[in-house]
Structure 1
């Protein structure tokens, strides 16, 4: 009976976080347009879900994040929409697969990384107020590197054409984007995941004792 209650609560939490992601993604508040790329706050519910429910739930939430990213870059395309939407590519099937990896694969990986990183940091750092910000910041940085690194490795030529620069300049531009969007996203995640996550973990512990 107790296990069934916990399963129901986990499913309810997962559904709630999926709802939050969908609202953020469909209304546009989860994506912040920058000159080159859309910065995001969508990673925060994914990390929270991975912390509360584990890597599998984190992967599922990452998938929702990815689908919202495809939607946002298809309905309101930016300069790099071709990297995040299979409907915006001009490369045929190879371009579709590349954009699906960047939009979906990297976001699913974010949830998995956050889930396992939380387990590791919780075991080594012990205290939630230390483990939560470390998990959030490192997961976010890993996600940014995965996304921008994939764009560099898979779509450097198209990136150069979109920016009207030489291919040799792409690495510097990618690193600039990692710094300009990745660091603020990591700081925001560290603060918000710590504050919200601590409260939700406390609530979860109280519910387990009932």
Structure 2
């Protein structure tokens, strides 16, 4: 008989420290509401930045874990500060799944798209992670909730789609913020580990 062995995933002390620090930042941003900036009809966020940093610094599993925390806080925000479209973010497929993917795509963007500049590699990972959040959330809203979204806002299909496209353009601001913060933090962590 063939033996089947299960691989146990153990986190290093450094990974646990990074998870703890970034989870702490996520908690502060989520509980205080500082991580959610109202841009009607939704709230834009800077909570994707700790997820990107965690993914690039410690890998896709750590990035996904921090993204899970972000997603849970999205649900928490939707429940505690209701808006006409809060029901959308009570669905874990929209609130959690794209957020878990941020750290994974940021990590692989950073690792697979290589340039001669470490800062450029970090920037690429940050942009990919940021747009994973923006396009993932908005794409899922379109696929799952476009009709309910139109009704909640009392707008036509055309206006609903245009509003989602405008929000997708807002992703450029989120990506810019992610790049500006992620590059120095990831480089600093690299120096501290030497």
Question: Do these two structures clear the TM 0.5 threshold for a shared fold by scoring above it?
Answer: yes
* Contact 2:65 2:100 (C-alpha < 8 Å) held by counterparts: yes
Q: Over residues 110-147 of structure 1, what are the superposed CA-to-partner deviations in whole Å (9 max), with x where a residue is unaligned?
A: 121112112113xx214211111111112211220110
Query: Who is 1:108 aligned against?
Result: 100
Query: Who is 1:158 aligned against?
Result: 148
Query: Who is 2:186 aligned against?
Result: 197
- Find the partner of 2:132 among 142, 157, 162: 142
* Cα offset, 1:42, TM superposition: 0.2
The CA distance in 2 between the partners of 1:201 and 1:151, in whole Å, is: 37
Structure 2: runs of 5 or more not aligned: 1-10
How is 1:90-105 mapped onto 2 (pairs within 5 angstroms)? 99-105=91-97
The CA distance in 2 between the partners of 1:193 and 1:146, in whole Å, is: 20
2:69 matches 1:33: no
The CA distance in 2 between the partners of 1:44 and 1:110, in whole Å, is: 9
* Contact 2:98 2:137 (C-alpha < 8 Å) held by counterparts: yes
Query: Who is 2:115 aligned against?
Result: 125
Aligned structure 1 segments of 4 or more residues deviating by more than 6 angstroms: none
TM-score normalised by L of structure 1? 0.84
TM-score normalised by L of structure 2? 0.90
* Cα offset, 1:109, TM superposition: 1.1
Richer in helix (by share):
1
* Cα offset, 1:168, TM superposition: 3.7
The CA distance in 2 between the partners of 1:149 and 1:110, in whole Å, is: 14
Q: Over residues 173-200 of structure 1, what are the superposed CA-to-partner deviations in whole Å (9 max), with x where a residue is unaligned?
A: 1101111x21110110011101211111
Helix, strand or coil: the match of 1:125?
coil
- How many residues align? The count is 184
- Find the partner of 1:72 among 66, 73, 77: 77
* Contact 2:56 2:103 (C-alpha < 8 Å) held by counterparts: no
Structure 1: runs of 5 or more not aligned: 1-5, 86-98
The CA distance in 1 between the partners of 2:85 and 2:149, in whole Å, is: 7
Helix, strand or coil: the match of 1:39?
strand
* Contact 1:37 1:79 (C-alpha < 8 Å) held by counterparts: no
Cα RMSD (Å): 1.3
Helix, strand or coil: the match of 2:12?
helix
Q: Over residues 72-124 of structure 1, what are the superposed CA-to-partner deviations in whole Å (9 max), with x where a residue is unaligned?
A: 11101223211101xxxxxxxxxxxxx11000111011121112112113xx2
Q: Over residues 36-87 of structure 1, what are the superposed CA-to-partner deviations in whole Å (9 max), with x where a residue is unaligned?
A: 11000000000000011000100000000000111111101223211101xx
